[in-house]
Structure 1
Amino acid sequence: MDERFVRRGDVQELTDFELIVYETVAELDKDGRAADFETVGRLVDGPEEDLWAALGHLVSINHLHSTSDGYVLGPHDWAP
């Protein structure tokens, strides 16, 4: 299935911490960089297990994609 057409989860179902993680990845992606775990961890204040859980959830609902370089935005309808 073409990932552009996979339904994204509703932003309202995200926790405050997940929103912070998403916004951090989006900020790095805006500059064309993938956000590796260490960079996100350094920029986001939270326990490592919470960060893994947030990233996993964001990937599972198609807000982020995991690549060999790190995390990047999934499909979105706003300009960079």
Structure 2
Amino acid sequence: MDERDDGRGDVQELSDFELTVYETVAEIDKEGGAADFDTLGRLVGGPEEDLWAALGHLVSVNHLHSTPKGYVLGPHDWAP
């Protein structure tokens, strides 16, 4: 995996489902919120195991951060 200096993996390496989860978190984050698991499950759909796996992978490649309030974007280089 090609990684930048900030430790993020390439977004093009994400599965379609992971990209959907990422984009959903980004929408919530840009409004100043954090995406909790139940909200993501309702908005994204799919099996719970798949959502946990996607979130785990997105956190591990530094695209998302897990906070006490939910998931937020990790470092990114695009404007809101």
TM-score normalised by L of structure 2:
0.92
Cα deviations by residue, 1:28-62 (Å, 9 ceiling, x for unpaired): 00000000000000000210000000000000000
| Runs of 5+ unmatched residues, structure 1 | none
Structure 1 ranges of 4+ moved more than 6 A: none
Q: How many residues align?
A: 76
Say which SS state the counterpart of residue 19 (structure 2) adopts. Answer: helix
Partner of 2:15: 15
Consecutive unaligned residues in structure 2, runs of 5 or more: none
- Fraction of identical pairs, as percent: 82
Equivalent residue number for residue 46 of structure 2: 46
Q: CA RMSD for the aligned pairs?
A: 0.8
Aligned equivalents of 1:65, 1:19: Cα separation in 2 = 15
Distance 2:33 2:27 in 1: 9
1:8 counterpart SS class: coil
